[in-house]
Amino acid sequence: MRTIGNTILITGGTSGIGRALAEAFHQLGNQVIVAGRRRELLDEVTTANPGMRSAALDVQDLASLEGFAEQIVRDYPSLNMLINNAGIMKPENLRERSDFSTVEATVTTNLLAPLRLAAALLPHLRQQPRAALMNVSSGLAFVPMALTPTYCATKAAIHSWTQSLRWQLRDTAVEVLELIPPYVHTELMGERQRQDPRAMPLADYIAEVMQILRSQPDIKEICVRRVDLLRYAGGLDPAKYDETFHGLNAGFGETREK
């Protein structure tokens, strides 16, 4: 994908990886729109980054996503890139009966919302000369952390869905990418994570991601070296995996709309 000349919508863009990505793309001269639930945080980000735009969005309100997409396209007709980044991660004790609202909120935020927003924006993205859709998954999509089972399950689902979307859009102008972070200094699981010495510094992570995007414009999965242990934990050679995936899907000989 191109790292310049884009109009980019980033969900969950007021903190953590989302904000850092927004600022990195903004610094390259892209028009960036950060989306988030809290207006005060949106204002904080745009004030710190003159020229960056914002849009209020509560991804848990699934019914609002189609209208949000329609408004974004009206406001930014040059929109050619969506980064589905918004996510939540909460611990769960499956041995005890717990409040199921954590499961529902995690599935809604991490899985249903990005799928629905992508579906709402894809007709517009397909009309652009060049476009990209990037889903943020996790190294935990490949090796789950038992403490956060629903989070890991949603990220595994995002990985699978992203592969299918990439295959279905392979003959269009829409590139489909997956950003696969390792354990990074953010507040996804609270203040402790932001200070945990085992986590990768956020600035280092974003710098490596942007370097990968600049140096490998045709890349489909963006993996920094710190996440390789999780991504390839199965020991399967990446090329062999791609061969298997393509063989499986090509073998079905599906029909698709042009």
Q: How far apart are CA 125 and CA 165, in angstroms?
A: 13
Catalytic residue among 151, 183, 205, 241: 151
Tell me the Cα Rg of the chain. 18
Length of the chain: 258
The dihedral through the CA atoms of 164, 68, 150, 139 has a sign that is positive
Q: Residue 151 catalytic?
A: yes
**Beta strands 131-136 and 81-84, pairing class:** parallel
In this structure, what DSSP letter does residue 78 have?
T
Beta strand segments in the chain, E: 7-11, 31-36, 53-56, 81-84, 131-136, 174-179, 221-222
Q: Kindly list the catalytic residues.
A: 151
